[in-house]
Amino acid sequence: EVQLVESGGGLVQAGGSLRLSCAASRFTFDDYAIGWFRQAPGKEREGVACISSTDGNTEYTDSVKDRFTISSDNAKNTVYLQMNSLKPEDTAVYYCAARWYSGTYSPYGICDYYAMDYWGKGTLVTVSS
């Protein structure tokens, strides 16, 4: 019943910006963590950014820190990923995923890949050089 739908992907030149959106249906972001993951051809899916609706804490992988910003509008059940200074290596299918999260510390991070319960179908981001 829970649905996550990504949007905002497209083709941009290196140095450009995109904003991705993840909209949830039959779902509330209260007491949940929402993460953005990406998968490039031939590579494993990796975590990009994560936000907790419980306390607002965020996490980023080192390769996107200071370039990407994750934010949420809990009233609209929507999470955003603002991507600036895009690089060709950012090219991938971007997925959003959700898990129930109480705020309890996890050594694997807020958005542990194996703990995510719901996944969207992805949106393609292509960065040209």
- Residues 89-127 have pLDDT tens digits of 999 999 999 998 888 888 888 899 999 999 999 999 999
- Residues 11-70 have pLDDT tens digits of 999 999 999 999 988 777 678 899 999 999 999 999 999 999 888 899 999 999 999 999
81 DSSP assignment: E
> What tokens were used for 25?
């249906």
> What tokens were used for 56?
């607002």
